[in-house]
Amino acid sequence: MTDRTRDILTGSVLLIIALVWIGLVYGTIPGAMGSATSARTYPLAAGYGLAGLSALLIVGAFLRTSKGSGAKRAGAVLDGFEWRAIATTFGFLAIYILLLQYFGFVLATVVGIAAFLVLVLGKRSPVLVLGYSLGFTFTIWLVLGELLAVYLPRGELFNLF
Amino acid sequence: MDTFIAALSMSMSWSTLVASVFGAAVGLIFGAIPGLTYSMALAMVLPITFTMSHEPAIAMLLATYIGGMTGGAVSAILIGVPGTPSAAATVIDGEHMAKQGKASIAVGIATIAGCIGGILSLVVMMSSVDALARVAISFGPAEITALVVFGLSTICGLAGGSLVKGLIGGVIGLMLMNIGQDPIDGVPRFTFGTTTMLQGVDLLVAMIGLFAVPHVVTVLGTYWRGKEMRIEAGDVRTELPSLRLLFAQKWNLLRSSLIGTVVGAIPGTGGPIAAFLAYDQARRWSKHPERFGKGEVSGVVAPEASNHAVTGGAMIPLIGLGIPGDPATAIILGGLLIHGIQPGPLLFMEKPDVIMSIYLLFVLAYLITAVIQLFGVRVFVKALRVPPHLMALGIMVMCVVGSFAIRNSLFDVGVMCTVGFVAYWLIKGGIPVTPILLGLVLGPTLERESRTALIMSEGSPSIFVDSYTGLLFWGLAALILIGQVITIVRSKPAASAAGKS
């Protein structure tokens, strides 16, 4: 993907977001009659600002010649590895949040870390898997939860410690 | 002299030393973990001080405050995720220094710069507490709006190659902070009828998502491509900045410390604004502005000296007038009141020895924090020897814990993931991250203060240019914007000529 294509794509997506945002502002946030500002002022200004800037980005990209600076490659390609990284990061975070909600910090973290090491990163060393999952969880639980009294998530179904 | 000796004997005891070490350690831990703030650390240590006499109590509170400010730089440099909003500007060059194998020197110089910035701010505080407190307190919503707009103008310098993309980033940051209850009327915005959305997007939660999640995705992608960069054990040395390096930074240190002190003295502003302003000024005054954002030492020195100087600046209205400028100084004020110390002009007349002991404990807190941090450099940089893909897993867990701890809400963890997802695609689309952060940090203050100003003036915008202070900041912001446009216009022919050749 070239710089030019990327800017047109980014600008178009942002322009759509800005228009939806402006629609939502008008539809859901009440204005204050007779007042200089209201709860609507800043979101609306931001929406129009984003719309204007996105349009400027698109126009700027179209004005660039396809053989000039616009033909430069735009950073690293989104290959299979990158897609895999996106899927595993957000997949792990979603499952971990669910585990935290139902099983609390200790159990969710031990299971989550061990599962990620074995299933996602393909680690097979029991020392690494058990050491990392148990050691890291215990350290966080002890230092933050017990010594520094930071509130750690408690499970709705089951809670260890 | 008698006052000094009396204060010295009050402040220098084993109990104050132990209290300072404990406070600094707690502050450093809370500051270094993204999501945990020094305000939380202060709230945690405050009950511990109830049974103490007032010197160790003040020592513990000040050391926690200062330790928290210092700790933010550690995670900013080592993992590229700022531990506190004040350390956000430190990421820009600190992370690059770590990637270049200069992690220990980056942490070292951040600590020393912070210590110098803090102590310089104390000198300013001691010499001008009364006058500065009165000037700072005269800042109304209109002047703070102008200051924030001046802060936002630094987007021009942080936008990278494209001003439009930088401004898009700033606007997206502002938009994110619009979600939730409106700060003046309490009207729900983009909540879609749910109560959980009413609490809005917390700055720290957004910051964690913005920096940590895209970092984790990139690290895992690099690992699977087989291109993971490992820092060998030999690459990581404990290295402190040389005196020559520090001397070369003298003007940067002085300028950044002054910016931090002045901004810190203005209630409702704080470390992030000061750090970004100092960073931008350091870049503008530098002989090599092109090195900024690529691992330039001055880019670490400026924000760290400035955000630490904020601690001294924040003490000016606190000690001089009894007015706290942020939640952290409000907790310190609470601690002082509990121990029978009522800050304000009367305190200077009635108990000068207490004032002097506060100054001494302030210096002690800085020195102890610096010593702990410098001894910890070796331990901190060892974290870099952990393979990045394994560290990424730990970062994910810590981000979840940190996001949850802010308001004990799993909703915040979801927000962190969503912001991370959006940030990842924005980065892929070429939108720079730092302007988004500036929008996040300054957006709520800009809206709150400007709307308050307009309410005060019954809708007349002339309130923003009524005072010389306001005019000064508007003028500076305009100068920066015009300067940036001129730079872009001048650089276009040069770039096209280079392309043709």
The answer to whether A29 contacts B189, with C-beta atoms less than 8 Å apart, is yes
Per-residue pLDDT band at B425 (split at 50, 70, 90): very high
pLDDT at residue B422, as a whole number: 93
Per-residue pLDDT band at B494 (split at 50, 70, 90): low
Sorted by where each begins, the domain ranges of chain A are 3-71, 80-147
Please give the radius of gyration of chain B, using alpha carbons only, rounded to the nearest integer. 22
Average of per-residue pLDDT across A95-118 = 94
Cβ atoms within 10 Å of B490's Cβ, excluding its own:
10
CB B252 within 8 A of CB B277: no
Each residue of B246-264: pLDDT tens digit?
Answer: 888 889 999 999 988 888 8
Q: What residue of A is the nearest CA neighbor of B426? A: A10
Question: Per-residue pLDDT for B270 more than 80?
Answer: no
Q: What residue of B is the nearest CA neighbor of A91? A: B417
Each residue of B350-392: pLDDT tens digit?
Answer: 777 888 888 888 888 889 988 888 887 677 666 667 788 888 8
Each residue of A113-123: pLDDT tens digit?
Answer: 999 999 999 99
pLDDT at residue A25, as a whole number: 93
How many cross-chain Cβ pairs, A to B, lie less than 8 Å apart?
A: 166
Cβ atoms within 10 Å of B379's Cβ, excluding its own:
9
pLDDT at residue A68, as a whole number: 56
Each residue of B163-196: pLDDT tens digit?
Answer: 889 899 999 999 998 999 888 888 899 988 888 8
The answer to whether B393 contacts A116, with C-beta atoms less than 8 Å apart, is yes
- Calculated CA dihedral for residues A13, A19, A21, A27, nearest 10 degrees: -150
Q: Which residues, in sequence order, are CB contacts of B410 under 8 Å at separation 6+?
A: A97, A100, A101, A153, B404
pLDDT at residue B501, as a whole number: 44
Each residue of B429-467: pLDDT tens digit?
Answer: 889 887 888 888 788 888 988 999 988 888 888 888 888
The answer to whether B217 contacts A93, with C-beta atoms less than 8 Å apart, is no
Question: Per-residue pLDDT for B237 more than 60?
Answer: no
Task: Tell me how close the Cα of B461 comes to any Cα of chain A, in angstroms.
Answer: 9
The answer to whether B190 contacts A13, with C-beta atoms less than 8 Å apart, is no
A-chain residues near B175 (CB < 8 A) = 21, 43, 46-47, 50
B450 — contact with chain A (CB < 8 Å)? yes
| Residue of B156, B176, B187, B201 for testing the chain A interface, max A β-carbons within 10 Å | B187
Q: What residue of B is the nearest CA neighbor of A74? A: B430
Per-residue pLDDT band at B29 (split at 50, 70, 90): confident
The answer to whether B447 contacts A57, with C-beta atoms less than 8 Å apart, is no
pLDDT at residue B408, as a whole number: 87
3-state SS of chain A: helix, strand, coil percent to 5?
70, 0, 25
B228 — contact with chain A (CB < 8 Å)? no
The answer to whether A41 contacts B451, with C-beta atoms less than 8 Å apart, is yes
pLDDT at residue B492, as a whole number: 62
A-chain residues near B167 (CB < 8 A) = 49, 53
Average pLDDT score over chain B: 82
Q: What residue of A is the nearest CA neighbor of B412? A: A97
d(CA B367, CA B133) in angstroms, rounded, equals 26
A-chain residues near B456 (CB < 8 A) = none
**Two structure tokens written together for B301:** 């020195």
Identify which of A105-119, B116-130, B189-203 has the greatest average pLDDT.
Answer: A105-119
Per-residue pLDDT band at A63 (split at 50, 70, 90): confident
Q: Tokens 């710089």: give the residue.
A: A3
Per-residue pLDDT band at B8 (split at 50, 70, 90): confident
Helix runs in A76-146, H state only: 80-115, 126-140
Question: Per-residue pLDDT for B280 more than 60?
Answer: yes
Report phi then psi at B37, rounded to 5.
Answer: -110, 165
Which range, of A23-37, A96-110, B25-39, B57-71, averages the lowest pLDDT?
Answer: B25-39
pLDDT at residue B219, as a whole number: 87
Average of per-residue pLDDT across B274-301 = 86
Task: Please name which of B194, B169, B170 lies closest in space to residue B180, comparing C-alpha atoms.
Answer: B194
Each residue of A138-152: pLDDT tens digit?
Answer: 998 988 888 777 888
| Residue of A35, A72, A77, A150 for testing the chain B interface, max B β-carbons within 10 Å | A150
Average pLDDT score over chain A: 87
B-chain residues near A74 (CB < 8 A) = 430
pLDDT higher at A85 or B211: A85
d(CA B218, CA B85) in angstroms, rounded, equals 23
pLDDT at residue B234, as a whole number: 47
**Two structure tokens written together for B141:** 């919503």
pLDDT at residue A70, as a whole number: 54
A-chain residues near B455 (CB < 8 A) = 36-37
Average of per-residue pLDDT across A61-65 = 80
The answer to whether B390 contacts A132, with C-beta atoms less than 8 Å apart, is yes
A-chain residues near B30 (CB < 8 A) = 148
The answer to whether B431 contacts A10, with C-beta atoms less than 8 Å apart, is yes
The answer to whether A29 contacts B220, with C-beta atoms less than 8 Å apart, is no
Cβ atoms within 10 Å of B324's Cβ, excluding its own:
19
